[in-house]
């Protein structure tokens, strides 16, 4: 195993489960000092044990700017720098247009949009040339998937952030890119699909490669975008979706 992130400080929001947890494990194996966030202390503690390698869990909600600030205050005390931010925290909800209300709108955009803005903004004082930001998007940002227009729009905003922030941060030498998964075999999706086998069959048929993705497959793409191996990649959206968006 290479050590591309030896002594690098890596921040992963929503790192206690799913893609965030899988990514944290790979960063830790490659030598990074990993900090993860999550809203549930019990799940966060379990994830820290699973990651090992001195990983640190900082409880907090990305929609609360004070929680985000406290995360970076901890890192400032520990290491005085941030090398990689993986802004991963997000929520998914199917809400048809005719039933959207204020609560649906606020919950989706507060986490997927507002939370991402402040996760990145508050990291900037600790970031220097060569640092990288990876945003977790979705193929939904490029598709008109029915019944989930709020989610689709929130992920389209993520794609726009990468374009704009690439220009905003180019003079500082900080690269920004997006990883956009398709359907991925996380614990939450698995619990849903186990109760809806016909949905899983239809979903698999919609993917050119014929299956859901694995969290590690997305995680490896994140590490590529965060590493010097992608040194001339900026403002890009990397689909990890078995071909759904491209074919």
pLDDT reading at 195 higher than 90: no
In a domain, 138, yes or no: yes
pLDDT reading at 1 higher than 90: no
Mean pLDDT score, 17-36: 98
Share of the chain above pLDDT 70, in %: 100
Q: Cβ neighbours of residue 39 under 8 Å, at least 6 residues apart? A: 59, 60, 61
In a domain, 1, yes or no: no
Return the pLDDT at 194.
Answer: 84
Quote the pTM value: 0.96
Structure tokens at 54: 């001195």
- Which range among 122-126, 202-206, 227-231 shows the weakest confidence by mean pLDDT? 202-206
For the question of residue 151 being annotated catalytic, the response is yes
In a domain, 75, yes or no: yes
In a domain, 247, yes or no: no
Cα→Cα distances 66→20, 31, 33, 39, 73, Å: 21, 29, 23, 14, 10
Number of domains in the chain: 1
Helix (H, G, I), strand (E, B) or coil at 149: helix
pLDDT reading at 131 higher than 80: yes
Q: Compute the residue count for the chain.
A: 247
Return the pLDDT at 193.
Answer: 81
CA distance 149 to 160: 16
Note down the domain range covering 22.
9-240
Domain CATH for 56? 3.40.50.720
Mean pLDDT score, 231-238: 98
Phi-psi map region of 33: left, alpha, beta (phi>0 left; psi -120 to 50 alpha): beta
Task: State pLDDT tens for residues 70-124.
Answer: 999 999 999 999 999 999 999 998 899 999 999 999 999 999 999 999 999 999 9
- In order, the DSSP letters of 217-228 are HHHHHHHHHHSG
CA distance 17 to 184: 12
Residue pair 53/24 in contact by the 8 Å Cβ criterion: no
- 35, 72, 151, 192: which is the annotated catalytic residue? 151
Phi, psi for residue 173 in degrees, rounded to 5: 75, 25
Structure tokens at 220: 């490896």
């Amino acid at each position: 195993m290479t050590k591309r992130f030896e002594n690098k400080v890596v921040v992963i929001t929503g790192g206690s489960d799913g893609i965030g947890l899988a990514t944290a494990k790979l960063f830790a194996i490659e030598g990074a000092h990993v900090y993860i966030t999550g809203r549930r202390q019990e799940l966060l503690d379990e994830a820290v044990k699973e990651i090992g390698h001195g990983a640190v869990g900082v409880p907090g909600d990305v929609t609360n700017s004070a929680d985000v600030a406290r995360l970076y205050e901890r890192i400032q005390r520990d290491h005085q720098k941030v090398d990689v931010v993986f802004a991963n925290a997000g929520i998914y909800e199917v809400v048809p247009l005719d039933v959207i209300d204020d609560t649906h709108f606020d919950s989706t955009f507060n986490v997927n949009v507002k939370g991402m803005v402040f996760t990145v903004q508050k990291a900037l004082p600790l970031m220097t040339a060569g640092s990288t930001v990876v945003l977790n998007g979705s193929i939904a940002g490029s598709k008109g998937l029915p019944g989930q227009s709020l989610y689709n729009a929130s992920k389209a905003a993520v794609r726009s952030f990468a374009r704009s922030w690439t220009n905003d941060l180019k003079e500082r030498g900080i690269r920004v890119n997006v990883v956009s998964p398709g359907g991925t075999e996380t614990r939450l999706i698995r619990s849903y699909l186990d109760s809806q086998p016909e949905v899983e069959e239809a979903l698999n048929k919609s993917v050119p490669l014929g299956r859901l993705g694995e969290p590690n497959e997305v995680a490896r793409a994140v590490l590529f975008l965060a590493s010097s191996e992608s040194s001339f990649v900026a403002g890009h959206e990397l689909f990890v979706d078995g071909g759904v968006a491209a074919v």
